[in-house]
Amino acid sequence: MSITIGSRRYLTNFEPHRLVHLFTDTIVIGSGVAGLLAALEAAEGGEVLVVTKAAASESATAHAQGGIAAAMSSADSAAEHARDTLAVGCGLSDETIVRQVVAEASQCIQRLREWGACFDSSGGELDFGREGGHSANRIIHAQGDATGQEVVRVLLERVRRHPRIRIFEHCFSIDLLTHEGQVRGTIAFHAKYGHQMYWATTTILATGGVGRLFRETTNPPVATGDGLAMAFRAGAVLRDMEMVQFHPTTLYLAGASRALISEAVRGEGAYLLDRAGQRFMLRYDERAELAPRDVVSRAIAAEMKREEAAWMHLDVRHFPPGHFATRFPTIARLLADFDINSERDLIPVRPSAHYLVGGVLIDANAQTNLPGLLACGEVANSGVHGANRLASNSLLEGLVFGRRAGRLAAQRAQRNGRIEHPPAVSHLLPQSPRTQLDIADVLNSLRSVMSRNVGVERSADRLRETIEIIEFWARYIMDKLFDEPTAWETQNMLTIALGIASAASARTESRGVHFRTDFPNTDPAWRRHVDLTRYEDGIQIGTSPVVSS
């Protein structure tokens, strides 16, 4: 157990009388689908401040390609959507939540359309795509493969126009402020104004995932797990953090970023080929290329190992001429940038870290165990995904829980008065005299070790080694006071990497996206959640039974 990671409550020093204070009803941290929707709902009941660490348009949401799952076609039903979601969740889902979320999908889509979202349709009917693990065509998409951009465009325009919402861009939330057992706001670092303290009746965490902890990832630079680490430091429960989903098909070109080749491409009929040009998925699963992501990722990893290759191939050469470029214009442009002509060439792919299935534990109303703190979207664990996320269910989760969080915040704003004076909270830690490590170097090494040892396949030895390495780095990095976002991100990433490796080490079975080579089978006795909490000297690991809300 790491003493330094557990003992750190705040990453920065602050004294209230030296800083600027701002008071509002609701603070939303993050401007992806969950945060933007939460802000719009919360503004129904009071003033809202959205704090986001890059430009407001930068988020995983903006990169989402495939679409939003919603059983809206006449040949489909919410019950079937729920069945597929539960099957992929491998016994860890909260069945009530799953049923509620899929039942709300159609309403979420209607609402986005009323607000101006243009989803692809033909002859006035929505066009439903197919993705792995879904038993029906139910993926609603925009401009072929630019669904996330369309969602952000519509929500952000609305947020910017709203008279009760303010957005602070390039404003890094460092920590949640707690007083008398309640979350009261955040201490943030504004690129222009430096440290500031923001106080609110309700704080909504919508900071997204952790992909950047891994060298191979589809996630944008903002996905560094800050919200999870902040919540952990403040005393929140992190649930099932070992459950990290790896996307099977990301473009593999040495030196290029790991751009996603959407699951919808396989949904349209693409094949996965080994280096000899043979399809191999049928040897692993009867659903072949349309098996759920964890199955496809492990099959690709196994083939890569068998052939000692760094990638496999995705083949769309049999698509009708022009179809790929019309259906997937963004991906076609990306491939063209690397001189890959999908009608002639094979596409090199390999799995990369894509989505955090675990997260800050929330209930059906987006409440965490900390009074005053709500969470929604990828940062949260609502129980909808269980041990694996069904494709295109995460934008949906963000829409449903963003709305629930915002609504509750609006009610609280109307019911409870606003904080008018800063509570007496301060933090003064002396600078550590110990050697300083090079942050960039540690970050690169951390991302490599996470990809190597805590990736698609895990084992006790590799996990133990990873925990030891992280604890070593933490001794020299968690004891320091830094004054810029990259260093705080590194401290957050060390914290969450330790959490993921510790949870993966605790779960001695394979289930969903978590695969242990030393425990390759699912163990019914492990139909439990792994819960992490901070205690004085480290990370406390507990387990709890699966319940239905």
Ligand X SMILES: Cc1cc2nc3c(=O)[nH]c(=O)nc-3n(C[C@H](O)[C@H](O)[C@H](O)COP(=O)(O)OP(=O)(O)OC[C@H]3O[C@@H](n4cnc5c(N)ncnc54)[C@H](O)[C@@H]3O)c2cc1C
Toward ligand X, which CB reaches closer, 66 or 386? 66
Toward ligand X, which CB reaches closer, 331 or 463? 331
C-alpha 108/C-alpha 396 separation (Å) is: 8
Toward ligand X, which CB reaches closer, 390 or 463? 390
Query: In the complex, what is the shortest distance from the CB of residue 120 to ligand X, in angstroms, rounded to a whole number?
Result: 13
Toward ligand X, which CB reaches closer, 99 or 354? 354
- What count of other Cβ atoms lies within 10 Å of the Cβ of residue 425? 18
Toward ligand X, which CB reaches closer, 61 or 505? 61
C-alpha 234/C-alpha 131 separation (Å) is: 38
Rounded alpha-carbon distances, angstroms, from residue 18 to 13, 24, 145, 196, 452: 11, 20, 48, 9, 45
29 in contact with ligand X (CB under 6 A)? yes
Q: Which of 98, 101, 167, 206 binds ligand X (CB under 6 A)?
A: 206
CA nearest neighbour of 45 among 412, 404, 419, 420: 412
C-alpha 100/C-alpha 217 separation (Å) is: 31
358 in contact with ligand X (CB under 6 A)? no
Q: Which of 24, 26, 35, 237 binds ligand X (CB under 6 A)?
A: 35
Q: Which of 120, 226, 457, 531 binds ligand X (CB under 6 A)?
A: 226
C-alpha 336/C-alpha 339 separation (Å) is: 5
531 in contact with ligand X (CB under 6 A)? no
Q: Which of 34, 183, 273, 325 binds ligand X (CB under 6 A)?
A: 34
Report the amino acid identity of residue 283.
R
Query: In the complex, what is the shortest distance from the CB of residue 394 to ligand X, in angstroms, rounded to a whole number?
Result: 4
Query: In the complex, what is the shortest distance from the CB of residue 509 to ligand X, in angstroms, rounded to a whole number?
Result: 25
What mask of x and - would describe binding to ligand X in positions 36 to 75, judged by CB under 6 A?
Answer: ---------------xxxx---xxxx-xxxxxx-------
Query: In the complex, what is the shortest distance from the CB of residue 386 to ligand X, in angstroms, rounded to a whole number?
Result: 15
Query: In the complex, what is the shortest distance from the CB of residue 189 to ligand X, in angstroms, rounded to a whole number?
Result: 9
User: Is residue 484 classed exposed, middle or buried when 0-12, 13-18 and 19+ CB atoms within 10 A define those classes?
Assistant: exposed
C-alpha 383/C-alpha 378 separation (Å) is: 12
Contact (Cβ atoms closer than 8 angstroms) between residue 214 and residue 353: yes
With CB under 6 A as the rule, give the number of residues binding ligand X.
44
Rounded alpha-carbon distances, angstroms, from residue 69 to 139, 437, 483: 5, 45, 41
293 in active site = yes
First to last CA, the chain: 32
Query: In the complex, what is the shortest distance from the CB of residue 146 to ligand X, in angstroms, rounded to a whole number?
Result: 10
Q: Which of 5, 11, 28, 33 binds ligand X (CB under 6 A)?
A: 33
Alpha carbons within 13 angstroms on the beta-carbon side of residue 543 total: 16
505 in contact with ligand X (CB under 6 A)? no
- Which tokens go with 276? 């000899």
Region binding ligand X by CB under 6 A among candidate stretches 9-17, 221-229, 314-322, 333-341:
221-229
Q: Which residues contact 290 (CB under 8 A, 6 or more apart)?
A: 130, 131, 132, 133, 266, 267
Count Cβ neighbours within 10 Å for each residue of 357-393 and write b for 16 or more, e otherwise: bbbbbbeeebbbebebbbbbbbbbbbbbbbbbbbbbb
Q: Which of 222, 261, 366, 532 binds ligand X (CB under 6 A)?
A: 222
Q: Look-up: residue for tokens 């489909």?
A: 76
Q: Which of residues 130-169 bind ligand X (CB under 6 A)?
A: 147-148
Toward ligand X, which CB reaches closer, 203 or 207? 207
Beta strand 194-205 with 20-29: parallel, antiparallel or unpaired?
Answer: parallel
Among candidate residues 215, 293, 447, 516, the one labeled active-site is 293
What mask of x and - would describe binding to ligand X in positions 462 to 501, judged by CB under 6 A?
Answer: ----------------------------------------
Q: In the complex, which residues of this chain contact ligand X (CB under 6 A)?
A: 29-35, 51-54, 58-61, 63-68, 147-148, 172-173, 206-208, 218-219, 222-223, 226-227, 260, 355, 377-379, 392-395, 398
Active site residues: 293
